């Protein structure tokens, strides 16, 4: 029997939220940004014969955030998903930890 692989899939907005928090961003609209590369190779289409076709190879070079002028399915609002904590909120949090 084939071994199953565990998967954890994320929406673009979930990915954007995690990256916004990782970067410590607290304001603005931020979108998932993917940078692709392009390469080419000759690909053998028949194992038993030397029959090749040109093929494109498109690797993902990087994934990041890009400030966005409008909301869409790729964006999150940093002020909502990663609001700044006030000094008052920080003090309240530290009091709860001590008790």
Closest CA to 35 of 64, 76, 78: 64
For 33, how many CA atoms within 13 A lie in the half-sphere containing its CB?
12
Interval 41-76: pLDDT, tens: 999 988 878 899 999 999 999 999 999 999 999 999
Residue 99 has pLDDT above 60, yes or no: no
Task: Provide the pairing of β-strand 51-57 with 60-67.
Answer: unpaired
Please give the pLDDT value at position 29: 98
pTM: 0.72
């Amino acid at each position: 029997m084939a071994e199953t692989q565990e998967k954890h899939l994320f929406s673009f907005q979930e990915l954007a939220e995690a990256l916004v928090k990782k970067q410590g961003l607290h304001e603005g609209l931020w979108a998932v940004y993917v940078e692709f590369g392009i390469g080419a190779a000759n690909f053998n289409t028949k194992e038993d014969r030397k029959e090749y076709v040109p093929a494109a190879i498109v690797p993902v070079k990087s994934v990041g955030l890009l400030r966005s002028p409008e909301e869409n399915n790729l964006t999150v609002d940093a002020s909502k998903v990663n609001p700044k904590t006030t000094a008052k909120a920080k003090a309240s949090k530290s009091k709860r930890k001590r008790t």
